[in-house]
Amino acid sequence: MSAVIDVDEARRVLCREFARMVINGASQVRVRISHPHGPPEGAWFYAYRDHEWHRDPGAEEGETLARALQPELEQVMQRGRGDLWQSRRHGVADATDYDISLHTANLAELKDERLPAYLAGLLFLDANDADHNRRQAVRHGRID
């Protein structure tokens, strides 16, 4: 990977890895950002299957990607939940885990190349989507 990873590429990596894990049977996914000496040094992906977490052996990523993924994961954590997902962050001494639970029954028909794009739409709202949601949330007074 290059020395700098832009926001779009970080989101693509997250959604591609999440989709791959969901297709393989995971209903929960985790990204662990390792930071033993302060700044992020590595990122690992985990899938929750058969009542335990399984580290993805091929998805260990280095410092550059970890630094790009962390702000995107923090953005997802700030939103907290959606209709088809919810998130949780928890830390240990030298890492932070970002867990996302997905309502996979509702995603079953998308288990193909469309799933990463669909997950990107669920997890990362753009400014227009956010404005639309705020407008929909406004409660109007009683109409006489």
Confidence of residue 137 (pLDDT cuts 50, 70, 90): very low
User: Looking at this protein, which amino acid is placed at residue 71?
Assistant: P
- What does residue 60 show for φ and ψ, rounded to 5 degrees? -70, 130
Q: What's the pTM?
A: 0.80
How far, CA to CA in Å, does 15 sit from each of 20, 120, 144? Answer: 8, 6, 47
| Within-domain flag for 86 | yes
Q: pLDDT, tens digit, for every residue of 23-79?
A: 888 889 999 999 988 888 899 999 998 889 999 876 667 889 899 999 999 999 998
Reply yes or no on whether the pLDDT at 87 is more than 90.
Answer: yes
pLDDT of residue 47: 94
Structure-block tokens of residue 73 = 């994961």
To which residue do tokens 């020395």 refer?
Answer: 3
Number of domains in the chain: 1
| Within-domain flag for 77 | yes
| Within-domain flag for 75 | yes
| Within-domain flag for 124 | yes
pLDDT above 70 covers a percentage of the chain that reads 82
Q: Average pLDDT, whole number, for the chain?
A: 82
Which residues, in sequence order, are CB contacts of 73 under 8 Å at separation 6+? 14, 31, 33, 89, 98
Q: In which domain, by residue range, is 37 found?
A: 7-137
Reply yes or no on whether the pLDDT at 120 is more than 80.
Answer: yes
Which residues, in sequence order, are CB contacts of 37 under 8 Å at separation 6+? none
To which residue do tokens 């109409």 refer?
Answer: 143
Report the C-alpha gap between 16 and 90 in whole angstroms.
23
| Within-domain flag for 21 | yes
